[in-house]
Structure 1
Amino acid sequence: MALDSQSIDGLVQQITTSDDLEALAHTLRTPGASGRDVREFILASSLSSGQDPLSVLDLRINTLGVLYILSARLNIYLNAQSGVQRPPWAIVRQFCEIFDPEQARLVPERMVMFAKSLTRYAQDEGNLKLAIPLLYSIVTRLPSTHSTLTPIHPILLLTTLQTRHITPEISRLLIEHPIDNLFMYTSIYPDHNLSYNDNLIYHYLGGVILTKTGNYTAALDYFETALTAPSANNSPPAGIQLEALKKLRLVQCIALGGPQALPKYTSSILTRIFKSSPYQSLINSFPGSPHPKDRGEGPSSGNNRLKLLVSKDRDLYSSEGNLGLVELLVAAAPKWIIKRLTETYVTLGLAEIGKYVGIDDEQQVRALVLNMIESRTILATISDSGIVTFHDAPGTSDVNVEDMRALLGALPSGANLQTIPILTLLEIVQTQSAHLANLDMDIGRSKEFISKALKASGGSSGIMAGPGPGFGPGGSFPDEDEYPTPGMYAIDREDSMMFG
């Protein structure tokens, strides 16, 4: 006798006795003659005995059936309040922790439907934070890898930001598992399939979360991914991509000292809109900006201009949710002003540095410089009298003696020194260059060399003609995408010049 699939008793019997999971998934997915709405009410109902179907099913072994019953019950309860029994929160939480991923992947649209109801259920419980560990469990267990994007990923990040509850697990997921695959499937419920906006929202929100936790390098990658995502069906770029560009530029200044080159495939529409916004003037005025006219020159001019621009458009930054980042940018400006000073000066007094960064209190300037020294942002020392001496990074001012021995095979007097000053190295190089030049002239004057060269060329008088000084054909230098292949210009000859 065929099993009844139009009653909860018949469905539960099929769930507990079927050994063909794909056939069971088809049965549960197909509403039959009764229609989808009636099937949902059947799934949400109690057994004829009055028992809760969840009490007779194993949450892991019967994942398919439990998933359909839970999602149907939650959806009807949350939308209709029609007397359907609400599933206990403990069962919902336990299911998220132990469901069988292989069974859940047979009906991914149902898992997405279930996950979307979790945030509303948590709100009904009075605490939206309760949904975060459940959603996290689903996004890390449902796809085959942690780097596969599902429609549930954006829900997790949005809930995280709404509750301001960023867990270490979510930060690690974003940093250690950047998206490299998409969880795509065909679905009779297209609203639950992965969409173009899911990708944009996930990477944009990921960038926001990473920025809030101070993981600026990873945040920049997420914002750039959202910014450069190709549009759907050649449509104009999305508004969230413009927001990603704004945050990308602000974080670049905070973390890297100034705006960086955008990928060539960035939408020109977005860049034009950005250039006409107050954000462009703000970025141009940052100390690390390549726009010295906007940045200003002289003591504290750039930093003062920044503060004026922020004050002018403060309401705009606040309304767009970027005021916090803008204030971080202003706070980071003195650090990058000092960083620029190291490129010009060897020593500066704290009072002079204060004039450049717009800080009158020398103790504040001292604290700022000490913080930069401790964080290895700059290499410097501060004397008791308040004089800051900037130092070169290791390896830029001195050369290791053993490196010299390997390169030149000869050392000047005093070879027992640990390092050789740059000036000494330059003298050595100049001496070697002069020696090679003299040797070249001597060879050129050698009759024996010229006669052998003429003989080898068949007597042609054109042996001195040929390519110019470049590496490419005809003496030109190759473009970056035209580097010569090995051996093309006799670079791989065994008679390469050796020193020492």
Structure 2
Amino acid sequence: MASALENYVNVVRTLSASGNFDVLVEQLNDSIELLTKNSNILDNVLETLDIQQHSLGVMYVLLAKFSNALNAQNSTTDAAHLIKLFKDFITLCNGEQVRFASHSYYELCHFFTTFILRQPSCIHGIKILAHAVDKIRLFDSQLTAVHADLCLLSLQAKCFKTALKFLDIDITSIATDGSSNRGSFFASIQDSNHDVKYFLLYYYYGGMIYTAVKNYERALYFFEVAVSTPAMAMSHIMLEAYKKFILVSLILHGKILTIPKYSSQVVSRFMKPLSQGYHDLATAYVSSSSDELRTVVIKYSEVFIRDVNMGLVKQVQSSLYKKNIQRLTKTFLTLSLPDVASRVQLTTAAEAEKYILHMIKAGEIYATINQKDGMVVFKDDPEKYNTPEMFLKVQEDMSGVMEIIKQINKMEEEIVLNPLYVKKAIGNQEEEIASGQHSKTYSGDPAE
């Protein structure tokens, strides 16, 4: 082993044993070039270090190995060996140690995600990244940069079960790239562009996952968060989230929901002009004319295909047919299938029957179809809201609301006690007092 690498091992052992992890991180950051140039003997370095005791030293070695593997044009890297090294590290590393270099930990996870996405069976990386999230976060509702990697891998593998366990937890805090790793939800998001990127990606990918499993309410919330994140310039991630926000809004509510008032001006100034096709689609949707909507889809088909949104656009078309059928239930008691097809602008009676059966099964309408004469009988909602099951559901919803209130009160307390907030609040009060005194000084009798 080269003498420089022997010195690297000695530094890692000495400073790890003494607990000088801040100093060790500085030393390790200066050793990146050394490790990268000696990639052929880094396995020997790993054999001399213990993952639990020397987590930081092992992490920087793995960073160098993954960096070389990703940059090599004709890579001869043993993928299975490299993946195993990362898995063992995530399983055995000391969480307290790696938090002293959380930025490097996140970077290693990003490298691993990029690397395993190039492999035939990327699905095997999902559980590893889930463990990586658990290792670095301090509590369940804390968001890390690794969350976005987990969601990306889940989308590529089309396996959402593991990711949904994380997505279903409402975020109340963000772990930043800094060494403290304890930023508040409102303050830490603006700590660095790096943090903001993975914050946006988490909500964008999360929205896509919820859309894939047809949980449109949750998907809409995730896209809304991505779009309304404070920003001084337009982000491509925000633009793509905005397009999907429009489509999911149409599916769920039949119109584009209003973006929160606290959203940045870039939404109205730049995103709307760059999403003209989607706004035209929304205009056609509001008209309730399936033919008009179909015309817009054909006109902007290249745009929707380029944005990989055509599947979602087709769901918008399907939702308009359903909404038009629901509208019929408020006007008619019975209709023939050909009449239904004609009124909602479907091609055939068989297509209308297919939609109605699907909506009956999903509980979207209450109706029966007489197969003999092809008549549809629309009925009222049979739910009386007086069953034990409904009572339990109401209790669960109330418990959920109470939990949200607790979180809001906790976050409000954090804001009020935040030194920056207190300083700004006191400054505003002093300005108001000063301006009041100033106005009194010059508020004499006009006659004087």
User: Counterpart amino acid of 2:165?
Assistant: R
Answering whether residue 153 of structure 2 is matched by residue 166 of structure 1, we say no
User: Counterpart amino acid of 1:245?
Assistant: Y
Flag the 1:334–1:77 CA change in 2: closer, same or farther, 3 A: closer
How many angstroms apart in 2 are the aligned matches of 1:266 and 1:186?
A: 26
Alignment partner, residue 284 of structure 1: 283
CA deviations over 1:241-281 (Å, ceiling 9, x no partner):
23222211211222344433432334455346537712222
Equivalent residue in structure 2 for 1:388, among 365, 373, 376: 376
- The structure carrying a bigger helix percent of its residues is 2
Flag the 1:65–1:258 CA change in 2: closer, same or farther, 3 A: same
How many angstroms apart in 1 are the aligned matches of 2:38 and 2:138?
A: 28
**Deviation of 1:17 (Å):** 5.9
Residue aligned with 2:368, SS? strand
Alignment partner, residue 210 of structure 2: 210
5+ unaligned residues in a row in structure 2: which ranges?
Answer: 180-190, 388-448
5+ unaligned residues in a row in structure 1: which ranges?
Answer: 1-5, 296-301, 401-500
Equivalent residue in structure 1 for 2:272, among 274, 298, 301: 274
The within-5 A match list for 1:35-434 is 35-40=30-35, 46=41, 52-76=44-68, 78-79=70-71, 88-122=82-116, 128-161=122-155, 163-174=156-167, 176-186=168-178, 194-231=194-231, 235-267=232-264, 269-271=266-268, 273-274=271-272, 277-286=276-285, 289=286, 294-295=287-288, 302-383=289-370, 384-394=372-382
How many angstroms apart in 1 are the aligned matches of 2:368 and 2:318?
A: 23
**Deviation of 1:36 (Å):** 4.3
How many residue pairs get matched? 370
Flag the 1:228–1:89 CA change in 2: closer, same or farther, 3 A: closer
How many angstroms apart in 2 are the aligned matches of 1:67 and 1:355?
A: 65
Residue aligned with 1:381, SS? strand
How many angstroms apart in 2 are the aligned matches of 1:113 and 1:357?
A: 52
- The answer on whether the counterparts of 1:43 and 1:73 sit within 8 Å (CA) in structure 2 is no
Choose 1 or 2 for highest CA Rg.
Answer: 1
Output the TM-score relative to the length of structure 1. Answer: 0.64
How many angstroms apart in 2 are the aligned matches of 1:399 and 1:173?
A: 34
How many angstroms apart in 1 are the aligned matches of 2:135 and 2:192?
A: 18
Task: Say which structure, 1 or 2, has more relative contact order (CA 8 Å, 6+ apart).
Answer: 2
User: Counterpart amino acid of 1:237?
Assistant: M
The within-5 A match list for 1:451-466 is none
**Deviation of 1:126 (Å):** 5.9
- The answer on whether the counterparts of 1:154 and 1:202 sit within 8 Å (CA) in structure 2 is yes
Output the TM-score relative to the length of structure 2. Answer: 0.71
How many angstroms apart in 1 are the aligned matches of 2:382 and 2:101?
A: 59
Residue aligned with 2:272, SS? helix
Residue aligned with 1:226, SS? helix
Residue aligned with 1:224, SS? helix
How many angstroms apart in 1 are the aligned matches of 2:71 and 2:47?
A: 24
How many angstroms apart in 1 are the aligned matches of 2:173 and 2:4?
A: 39
Flag the 1:252–1:38 CA change in 2: closer, same or farther, 3 A: closer
- The answer on whether the counterparts of 2:142 and 2:172 sit within 8 Å (CA) in structure 1 is yes
- The answer on whether the counterparts of 2:249 and 2:256 sit within 8 Å (CA) in structure 1 is yes
